[in-house]
């Protein structure tokens, strides 16, 4: 059902399998007949786990018992006894504009020294920060995914969902420079041996670049550059729904976490743009000063 009807990705199916197997072992193979009391025992066994882990396990079991009831395999659904821990999702790590500028200065320095490694790194970072690609999406790009005359590419990302990703002129130029050095018979834009560049190797390349740029390596990763892409778009006034589509998030709640990383800017936005911003004491004083100026113009001394 999860594969055929829900269209779940392979990693999701594997996670469900692990969670259901684990729960079945704790209940000695009686998961399908579990009572609310059995599920309370499961919840007690999960107490040492993180809240996010418990939430994931409970969600898998709710889906399982819902399936059993829908298929007529049991007449009740005991999943109300499962815990519902609150979310403790941490805020994403981000880079400020100065750090991003330092990365690109270091890339330009390496390019000036010559060599294809710098061209590859330039293309990788331009796509990570300029388009918000996930590491896996980036590493496995087909050789002709980015076309010089097409300002976008179509990705099949997490969960098998397709999305259109705009590619900046800078990124297309960087990819074109690198692509000229990719073997013509390579199916991948970033080949490595018989396959493509691995996520681990990409991680290492970004860490080394950060160190040379004077940025603590622990502050950066390919995913941090994706976070910076989203955060800097929102800082620039981008619509949250547009950022959701660009990142390929199935749920806008996932994208909303980026609205928490710059609360100062959001507060300033409300204070300066809200229709009632001038209705308070400050607004009244401003209105009074404006009225005084009008009176002075009408009744000059």
Give the pLDDT of residue 148. Answer: 79
97-113 and 116-131 helices, crossing angle to 10°: 160
Look up 188 and say whether it is catalytic: no
Range of the domain at 71: 10-81
Q: Which of 57, 134, 227, 232 is catalytic?
A: 134
| Domain identity same for 101 and 77 | no
Residue 301 domain flag = no
Report d(CA 133, CA 225) in Å as an integer. 9
Q: Record the tokens describing residue 2, joined without a space.
A: 């999860």
Instruction: Assess if residue 276 is contained within a domain.
Output: no
Whether residues 184 and 245 fall in one domain: yes
274 is catalytic: no
Query: What pLDDT sits at residue 23?
Result: 94
Looking at the structure, tell me whether residues 17 and 51 fall in a common domain: yes
**Per-residue model confidence as pLDDT tens digits over 236-251:** 777 777 777 777 666 5
On whether residue 169 sits in a domain, the answer given is yes
Q: What is the pLDDT of residues 220-232, one digit of tens each?
A: 999 888 888 888 8
Q: Answer yes or no: do 57 and 174 share one domain.
A: no
Mean pLDDT of the chain: 82
Confidence of residue 52 (pLDDT cuts 50, 70, 90): confident
Spot the catalytic one: 51, 62, 93, 158.
158
Helix or strand (DSSP H, E) at 257: none
Marked catalytic residue, from 57, 163, 226, 227: 226
Give me the pLDDT at residue 92, please. Answer: 57
The lowest-confidence range among 67-81, 87-101, 192-206, 227-241 is 87-101
Continuous H helices in 27-134 = 36-45, 51-70, 97-113, 116-131
Examine the residue annotation and report whether 16 is marked as an active-site residue of this protein.
no
Question: At 27, is the secondary structure helix, strand, or coil?
Answer: coil
Query: Looking at residues 117-135, what average pLDDT do you find?
Result: 91
Asked about 194 being catalytic, the answer comes back as no
Q: How far apart are the first and last CA of the chain?
A: 84
Share of the chain above pLDDT 90, in %: 42
pTM value?
0.59
Q: Are residues 116 and 168 in the same domain?
A: yes
The DSSP bridge partners found for residue 162 are 156
CATH code for position 155: 1.10.443.10
User: Is 97 marked active-site?
Assistant: no
Exactly one of 188, 207, 232, 258 is catalytic; name it: 258
CATH number at residue 34: 1.10.150.130
Please indicate, yes or no, whether residues 200 and 123 belong to a single structural domain of this protein: yes
Distance CA 57, CA 16 (A): 8
Q: Which of 81, 116, 142 is a domain's end point?
A: 81
Assigned domain for 282 exists? no
Same domain assignment for residues 41 and 142: no
């Amino acid at each position: 059902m999860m594969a055929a009807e829900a269209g779940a990705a392979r990693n999701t199916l594997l996670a469900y399998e692990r969670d259901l197997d684990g729960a079945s072992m704790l209940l000695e193979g009686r998961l399908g007949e579990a009572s609310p009391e059995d599920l309370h025992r499961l919840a007690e066994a999960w107490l040492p786990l993180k809240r996010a882990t418990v939430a994931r396990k409970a969600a898998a079991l709710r889906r399982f018992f819902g399936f059993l009831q829908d298929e007529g395999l049991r007449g009740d659904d005991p999943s109300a006894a499962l815990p519902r821990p609150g979310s403790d999702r941490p805020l994403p790590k981000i880079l400020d504009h100065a750090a991003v500028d330092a990365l690109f200065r270091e890339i330009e320095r390496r390019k000036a020294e010559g060599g294809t490694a710098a061209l590859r790194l330039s293309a990788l970072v331009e796509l990570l920060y300029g388009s918000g690609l996930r590491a896996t999406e980036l590493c496995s790009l087909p050789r002709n995914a980015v076309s010089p005359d097409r300002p976008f590419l179509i990705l099949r990302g997490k969960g098998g969902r397709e999305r259109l990703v705009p590619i900046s002129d800078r990124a297309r130029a960087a990819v074109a420079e690198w692509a000229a050095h990719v073997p013509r018979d390579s199916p991948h834009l970033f080949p490595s041996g018989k396959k493509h560049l691995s996520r681990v190797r990409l991680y290492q390349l970004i860490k080394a670049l950060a160190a040379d740029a004077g940025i603590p390596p622990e502050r950066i990763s390919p995913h941090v550059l994706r976070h910076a892409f989203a955060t800097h778009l929102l800082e620039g006034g981008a619509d949250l729904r547009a950022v959701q589509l660009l990142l390929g998030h199935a749920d806008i709640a996932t994208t909303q976490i980026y609205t928490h990383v710059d609360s100062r800017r959001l507060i300033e936005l409300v204070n300066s743009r809200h229709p009632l911003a001038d209705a308070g004491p400050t607004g009244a004083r401003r209105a009074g000063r404006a009225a005084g100026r009008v009176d002075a113009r009408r009744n000059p001394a």
